[in-house]
Amino acid sequence: MYACALNCKEIVAFLLSTNPTNLCAQNNEKQTALMIAASFGHNSIIQQLFEYSKEKESEENKNFKEILGLNIVDENGFTALHYAVFYAHHSTITLLIEFGSDPNIPDLEGMTPTLMACIDEEQEKSLSQLIKAGGNLYHCNHDGQNGYEIANRESVSAFKSPQTMQPQYGSF
């Protein structure tokens, strides 16, 4: 995991080639190698982990997402996608979405990666791709706020469309 934090591609490659590695292994804070790489925006490491998991898919008779630990949560309920959004690593967000990360997994406070993207304007730059990946702005965190209420900015209100509008019950 330390090699992932330091972006040591050669060490990660060596470890993956010499040890049957469990990519879902977690440190004391329940973070995986993927989460650590995502928190630093180390896309080349994430790509290595992805390729390793794709190779192991047939051997382990598991889906690559399970091997990679794509949607595993840490002690705070964060996934790798939460970390990428929190630190506004836009290219990492794109990569994780391409691999199938779920933008609607809530952390311990009910914040999904999609809701996190509403917190500030830098994080918001990835909001459209999170929505395209199925991100739900109407999900409410534990304070009862949805994405529109968290952002309270005109730029996020622009995402209201017939596809994202919540149905109004009792009206025609």
Average pLDDT over residues 135-156: 88
Task: Provide the pLDDT for residue 170.
Answer: 54
Average pLDDT over residues 52-65: 86
The domains of the chain are located at 2-157
Q: For the segment 67-109, what is each residue's pLDDT rounded down to a tens digit?
A: 889 999 999 999 999 999 999 999 999 999 999 999 999 999 9
Q: Which of 88, 75, 76, 73 is nearest to 40 (CA)?
A: 88
Place of tokens 């109004």: 168
Q: Is the domain covering 2-157 a CATH 1.20.58.220 domain? A: no
